Every structure is written in C-alpha cells, then in structure tokens.
A = this chain, B = another copy of it.
Amino acid sequence: MAELKRTKIKALLGSEPGDQAVCAKGWVRTKRGNKNVNFINLNDGSTIHNLQVVADPAVFGEDVMKKVTTGASLSVIGKLAASQGGGQTVELIAESIEILGESDVEKYPLQPKRHSLEFLREIAHLRPRTNTFSAIYRIRHAMIFAVHNFFNERGFLNVHTPLVTASDGEGAGETFRVSTLDPANPPKNEDGEVDFKQDFFGREVNLTVTGQLEGELAAMAMGDVYTFGPTFRAENSNTTRHLAEFWMIEPEMAFYDLDDNMDLAEDLLKYLVGYALEHCADDLEFLAKRAADEEKSKPANQRQELGLIERLRFVIDNDFERLTYTEAIEILKNSKPNKKKKFQFLIEEWGADLQSEHERFLVEKHFKKPVILTDYPKAIKAFYMRQNDDDKTVRAMDILFPGIGEVVGGSQREERLELLVERMSEVGISEEEMWWYLDTRRFGSAPHSGFGLGFERILLFITGMTNIRDVIPFPRTPGSAEF
C-alpha cells in the first residue's frame, strides 16, 4: 500500500469531518490533557492556526506520549471529526503517532509563553516557530509576490541589477568593500597603495547601495522596469529603522514625469496594503491583536488613535496629501511645536533638511494621512534629480507614512546631458567613471522617473511591528551577522 500523503494543516482546517484517513505533519506547540485524553496543538507553518490532535494516551503508551513535547516534530494519521472545543471546526482523532524528531523540554529555548522580541532576535533561527514571526514571514512572502504581480500585470520587467559594483550610486553613503586580496598583506603598487588591479575584479568594488543607475540603463531601452533586490549601507546606525542589508524595490520608467511617478508609487502602496488585507487576514488579525496589547502598555497620550487594520484601511481609502517642500516648510515654521520650541531642530529657514520629527508632525498631526513631499532644495538631494527652472529645487518626491516616516524616495531624473554633467561636476562625481550612465543622455535621452521603496519599511507599516530587525528573517546590523 502506498504511504498516505501528508496534507497541510491549512487544507485540513478547511476540510469537512470524514471517514477518510488523513496525515498531518508538523511541530508541537502545546500539549494538555489528562490520563484519559491529550490535546496536541500541531503547527506546520502553512497557517497561523494549529490543528488540534486528540490522542488517547492509553492507545499510544507513555513512551510515545512523553516525547510529544513543545517543539517535537510529529507525523499523525487519523480522521477529522467535528471539534468539540471552540476556535476550530475540525480536529484530528489520532490513530497513529510517529515521533519524527524529539525536543528536549529542558533545552528547547521556545516555551509556550510570551518571549521578548529581544530574546527572539538572539534565536532568529528558531523564531519562525512562533506565531508572531510565522505571521510576519507569511506576510513578507505575500508582499514579495504582490510586488511582482503588480508590476507584471502592468508590463514592467524585473531587472536583476548587479550587487557587486564599482559605482557608488548615490554619490554618498558608506559602502562595503568586496575583495579576495589577502587582508593581512594586500599587494601594494609603486605608490604604496593597495593594488586593487590584482583583486578579483581587477579594481576596487563594493556592494551596491542602489540598483537605480543600472535600472535607468534598462528603462532607456525596455521602457518600464523594476529591481527588487538587496542593497547595502555601511552606516553605523543602530536604530529601529536601519539595516546594513535590506531589500529595495526600484521601478524606473521611461517617458514618466513626476506626476506619473507619484501616481505609480501611490498605486503600488495601496495595492500592497490591499493585497495584505485580502490575502493575509488571519495573520493580520493576530498581529493587530498583538499591536493592540503593546499599545496598552503605553501611556494613554502616546497610544495610536487607530488599530492596525484601521490604519491599513485608511491608507487605501484616502488619497495621499501632495505638497511641495516649500509649502511644508511654511506649515512647519508656523506650527505649534516650532513656535513653542518643542522640535529638537527648529525650522527657521527654507533649505533646512527635514528631520524625522518634522515628517511625523506633518503626517501624524497636521494631515493625518500619508504625505508626498515634492520639489526639495537641490542642495539636499542627489545629483541625478531633474532641476526645476527656479534653479533652487529638483523634481524629487518623498512619501511619508505614519509611524515609520519615509517609505519611498524618488524623482524625475535629469535627462538633459549638460545639466547633469554640470551637477555632477559641482558635487564631485567623475564624468569618466560614469561614461555608461551618461551614454543614456547622449543617445536617445528621454524624460524618465523612478523611485525606491524600502521593503522592510512598508513591512513595518503592514505588520505593525516597530523594529525593522523583526521584519527580515536574519537582520544584518553593526556588530551582528549571526546565522
């Protein structure tokens, strides 16, 4: 007889009771009961819900039942019956139980109680076995798929831009060097400098900080493209919003102006939030409850007005507020916290870079919705942004979200060769090294635009988590590259 094929718990929980034997495999979350009956909660990661396995200890014997501990892996065969308890419609009446892998209760770090997020970060290899992290990772997957689906439906092409690169895309930003030279005794040239000509790639290279520049090359041939890959910043910032290795989505579109760009970004964000609400309802419900519990521990005046699900619905149901940097500065200058000197950085004049406190004021207090700021001073933005006729501002846009600040940064790109070269020279970027980038403006240049969406930033918003290290499986931060 052929072995009975395993059915995933998500499918079993959606089945009717029946006389057909089924097989479930998964990990024990909890076991409770008495000498007459045991209830084993089994989870296999396919859903946040456990399958309740009902087992008669007398049938399976003490030798087996004592191995059914939290974390153990089981294969259970039995029949689905209507559940007596609340919370599930069917339960599995066990006819055979095989212990696939034991889990020593004395040593297993995950016990059926609430562990702190800090502790779980230290055991990131085991945290997907918790409800919170399995929910987050299922949502992360759904959002990855939704990103590809959104762009594919619209005829965009995903372009794999290189990770190892000799270019420093932002003209700023600390990078990680990639090398195979002997670190203790690197070869030196005549001037006593490290001779990167002898390195693997024949030159000094680093991990990319953005796929944008290569994305532009593709857009100026294929039209609408996007990248979705890891990017790296070697900034020593130990905050709840920064990672050294994080994933970015960077669409780049030929023939788009800034308005088209904003429309696309707003559509994408709404699509992602809507997709999560539609496809991840169970996991969001769990995380919403979790977030609500967290809120209760805060002083009343620091609590969020809306719950997680309400915040998500709010984003879908409302247009983002669009205004220029200049308009924002006026609002901030005349705001209560500025006049009462409550801002750490007071807004005194046009040209100031906006700090997180200013962005939060605009989004959370003033407009109470996502905000798109445009036309920033060129001095505080990257060299490739299209210059406005006022000679002061560039066609930049940042999208600010409640609770997390900037999720999207983008711009219309400077497509005019002379203006681009001039700006590069002003900020000290080598024309020779960027010959390939400039070629797109030399040959068949066209208006084009793009933006970057920080994938973990939008995941923070959607999951209601508050530390970016909790929405990526294995966070990379200063001093930490475990697993």
Contact = CB atoms under 8 A, between A and B. Distances in A.
Nearest to A444: B73
Interface in A436-483: 436-437, 439-447, 472-474, 476, 478-483
A43 to B, nearest CB: 9
A193 interface: yes
A221 to B, nearest CB: 4
B164 A481 contact: yes
Given A137-B157, A164-B476, A214-B473, A223 B46 contact: yes
A87 to B, nearest CB: 21
A162 interface: yes
B148 A144 contact: yes
Interface in A228-265: 229-230, 232, 234, 236, 244-245, 247, 254-255
Contacts of A144: 148, 158, 160
B46 A483 contact: no
A145 B152 CA distance: 7
Interface string A68-102: 00011101000000000000000000000000111
A25 to B, nearest CB: 5
Given A158-B144, A160-B473, A221-B128, A194 B183 contact: yes
Nearest to A175: B180
Contact of A164 (B174, B188, B244, B447): B244
A45 B223 contact: yes
Interface in A207-221: 207, 214, 217-218, 221
A345 interface: no
Contacts of A207: 163-164, 178
Contact of A481 (B165, B186, B221, B483): B165
A436 B125 contact: yes
Contact of A446 (B101, B178, B221): B101
Of the four ranges (under 10, 10 to 19, 20 to 34, 35 or more), the interface on chain A belongs to 35 or more
Given A107-B442, A164-B481, A201-B480, A176 B183 contact: no
Interface string A294-315: 0000000000000000000000
Interface string A1-21: 000001010100000000000
The copy count of this chain in the complex is 2
A225 to B, nearest CB: 8
Contact of A176 (B28, B162, B180): B180
A278 to B, nearest CB: 14
A163 B439 contact: no
Interface string A116-139: 000000000110110000100110
Contact of A161 (B174, B200, B443, B474): B474
Interface string A155-174: 10111111111110000001
Interface of A: 6, 8, 10, 25-28, 44-46, 71-73, 75, 100-104, 107-108, 125-126, 128-129, 134, 137-138, 140-141, 144-145, 148, 152, 155, 157-167, 174, 176-181, 183-184, 186, 188, 192-194, 200-203, 205, 207, 214, 217-218, 221-224, 229-230, 232, 234, 236, 244-245, 247, 254-255, 415, 436-437, 439-447, 472-474, 476, 478-483
Given A10-B155, A107-B443, 10 more contacts: A45-B221, A45-B222, A75-B255, A144-B160, A164-B232, A164-B476, A183-B194, A200-B479, A202-B481, A214-B483
Query: What 9 pairs between A and B have smallest CB-CB spacing?
Result: A101-B445, A45-B222, A128-B221, A201-B481, A73-B444, A141-B157, A45-B223, A125-B436, A73-B446
